[in-house]
Chains A and B, each alone.
Chain A
């Protein structure tokens, strides 16, 4: 069974992985505002080619396997929270993401609407329909933010 196929609950039976997970939350994730920011951060810790998670600080303290498992568990956990969130909650998270990005909201919305980079922010091996729902809600949320900034002109 590959690492990504293992459920987070099973993975974190490992003592070091559990400690790494708690450390990740305490030092990093609790300081990141909003679950969407956390999701993007955790996805950025994953190697595009191998799908393995890397974090220099966690690996130095707990070793690669524990650090990688902790990152994957946290990634899946945040994914499930976002997938279950209402559209309204997701729009609030998107607004938070836009505010914290440091980019101009117009540029960010234009990029996200056209390139849809959030598609690669999902963990591997999650329920495909739950992933579909989250991607669809993100697409709708972006359209909500866009329509609020550029309301359609009425003739």
Chain B
């Protein structure tokens, strides 16, 4: 009975993943060629998937706070993953458009690149599936891995920090307490 249930569960997960993959594969044609996607700053994924804030919330010993924290973090995690998927689709579509006009196309390199896009997209979908059911900090290591892979493919903006000498002194003073 348990074996039957597990087989059904595996079939469901596979079916769902294939369904999502087939839907995602149809989308690149809808993407405008002029789009220039950017990954989100790296600290966002780190904040969402790291256990740092969760450990702090747990100290408050409040069930409602724990529940609110989980729902808030899940919402950001899902948005981050969906944005990653959308950005991958845009980059992949732009690359395919450019490849069609290329004179010296390296088929092996192209295949490797497409495989990389698909690998990253699949990881994002698996994470998207996982965060619905497990604690967002559980797949922390995978999320970090996805973040690093995405950073290789998508340009990542970093905060435009411009500290004046006064601001630097002020920040140092605050840090020293």
Contact = CB atoms under 8 A, between A and B. Distances in A.
Contacts of A139: 68, 72
Contacts of A29: 167, 170
Given A140-B72, A147-B60, A12 B157 contact: no
B64 A147 contact: yes
A152 B161 CA distance: 40
Q: Interface SS of chain A: helix, strand, loop or mixed?
A: helix
A136 interface: yes
A86 interface: yes
Contact of A127 (B40, B76, B161, B170): B40
A127 B41 contact: yes
Which of B63, B159, B161 gathers the greatest number of chain A CB atoms within 10 Å?
B159
Interface residues of A, number: 36
B62 A152 contact: yes
B52 A130 contact: no
A89 to B, nearest CB: 10
Q: Interface SS of chain B: helix, strand, loop or mixed?
A: helix
Given A86-B53, A139-B72, A147-B65, A22 B164 contact: yes
A138 B41 CA distance: 19
Interface in B29-78: 40-41, 43-44, 47-48, 52-53, 56-57, 60, 62-65, 68-69, 72-73, 75-76
Contact of B165 (A22, A76, A80, A143): A22
Given A30-B170, A129-B44, A143-B68, A80 B160 contact: yes
Contact of B76 (A30, A136, A148): A136
Contacts, number: 101
A133 B48 contact: yes
Contacts of B163: 77
Contacts of A12: 162
B95 interface: no
Contacts of A132: 75-76, 79
Contacts of B53: 86-88, 137, 140
A106 to B, nearest CB: 18
B79 A152 contact: no
A133 B62 contact: no
A7 interface: yes
Interface of A: 7-9, 12, 18, 21-22, 25-26, 29-30, 73, 76-77, 80-81, 83-84, 86-88, 127, 129-130, 132-133, 136-137, 139-140, 143-144, 147-148, 151-152
